[in-house]
Structures are given as structure tokens and as C-alpha cells.
Amino acid sequence: ETGVTQTPRHLVMGMTNKKSLKCEQHLGHNAMYWYKQSAKKPLELMFVYSLEERVENNSVPSRFSPECPNSSHLFLHLHTLQPEDSALYLCASSQDVGGDEQFFGPGTRLTVL
């Protein structure tokens, strides 16, 4: 595997479910990111991790809970989501935070019923 991978690629969940999105990067990078892309809106940065430490949380509701167990893996835990949380969730990585090119995974398309 090369680059940035994400699983699952599609997810349908009810508002009371708990699910997790997984991201893995095979680039030896130190920084990882979660983005949200809603219909008709620009991509929004949600969380930034550098060497497993969260460095940014851009006012994201607590029903989204990130976890970075090591510099290659990033999770987004989801619970009690709302229908308006339906979106494409994209993971990215870069060598370090700041001044480096970001590389994106294919995304998880989430539908909340």
C-alpha cells in the first residue's frame, strides 16, 4: 500500500450509532489531518495532529472524537451524529505541520439517517 488510505469508503449510520473512521498513511509523515466536505461548501479543516499530539481543533462538536495512536494512524470516532453531519470525510498527511505539501486519502462518504 502506498499513500494515504481510508476505511470504510462508504458508511451509513443512524443517529444513535457509534462508528469509527480509519486513516493510515504510508509516507513516513509526522502530521495528519481530518477534513469535512459538505455539499456546496468548501473543505473544512477539523483536526490537526503532529506526532500523535493534537495541535488544532477547529471548533468541532464533541460528537466527533479524534484519536491518533501513532504517527501512521488516525481515527475519527463518531457518536450521536445528526443528519447534517452527512458529508465526505477526508484524511490527509504531510511531513510536518506547516510549510509542507499535504496528501489526501480517498475519503469516507458518510450518510447519517
Partner 1 sequence: GIQVEQSPPDLILQEGANSTLRCNFSDSVNNLQWFHQNPWGQLINLFYIPSGTKQNGRLSATTVATERYSLLYISSSQTTDSGVYFCAVEISSGTYKYIFGTGTRLKVLA
42 binds partner 1 (CB under 8 A): yes
Q: Which is nearer to partner 1, 100 or 111 (CB)?
A: 100
Residues numbered 94-113 forming contacts with partner 1, rule: CB under 8 A: 97-104, 106-107, 109
Cell numbers given for 64:
466527533
22 binds partner 1 (CB under 8 A): no
* DSSP three-state, residue 110: strand
Q: Which stretch binds partner 1 (CB under 8 A): 12-20, 42-50, 62-70, 71-79?
A: 42-50
Catalogue the E-assigned strands of 14-63.
18-25, 31-37, 44-50, 53-57
